[in-house]
Amino acid sequence: MRDLEGKTAVITGSASGMGLAFATSFGQEGMNVVMADIEEKALRTAAAQVEAVGASVLPVVTDVGDEASMDFLGEATRDAFGGAHLICLNAGVAAPTVPMETLTVNDWRWTLDVNLWGVIHGIRVFLSDLKAQDEGHIVITASVAGLTSYPWLGPYNASKHAATTIAETLHAELMETGSKVRVSCLTPGAVATNIGDAERNRPKELRNEDAEEQSLGDLSEFAETFAGFAKAPPEVAELVLAAVVEERFWIETDDSYREPIQQRHRAIEQKAAPPARGMILSPYIER
């Protein structure tokens, strides 16, 4: 989608991190921006920042895992701008990094509600309109955790593998029907966002009664090191903008996981055991 001026972008998880960077980037390109996030106060502040670059902004408090809330996002977008052209399904959370047997049902439900159902609802709400106008682009934020399977990330890995295959399946369907709508799958590695503090937004009904989980591979232990290799959200936004304009499917933020991903593929081809070991940050820390 090469001509962005005057068109409308919808971005979930846009009150901070990559979502805010996406909103700013597309706003600078002359797009109207619908900013969706569950944090109302942070969303108002972020919307003001994007308005400051000259964009027309509609902030919509949204729970991406809730069907009615996502339906309202679609209605609000149509009422304000007549529809959308670019959909960035970006909202994401991470459950505690603990052994799988210690995860609760609430950990699984919360992660899948946001990371998986947020993508499902976004496609359900907006795809028909994009196909009807035969123009548009959907960017699905997956992760390197959707292409590898490091330990202690069960819900996150599952949700991101699901997001990846949804993106691939949607791409295949659009190609089969000759649609001009395009899809990109963003598979970021380390990016300096607030996802490590995602618990602040966990719904009360999905919080664990005993909140003292012992996390393994907590990023706080490597804060200084992490800051040295993590991509800044605006850098990722530049990559996403380029992929939308060039209509590319895969978007990677760096090449640190190329070899782990290739190792996984080789293991599948050779019917060998999965190779991933240690923490998901290992490709950065060990190099």
Just list the catalytic residues: 156
Whether residue 165 contacts residue 183, with contact meaning beta carbons closer than 8 Å, is answered with: no
For the beta carbon of residue 161, count every other beta carbon within 10 angstroms. 18
What angle separates helix 105-115 from helix 154-177, to the nearest 10 degrees? 30
Q: Which long-range contacts (CB under 8 A, 24 or more apart) does 269-274 make?
A: 274/149
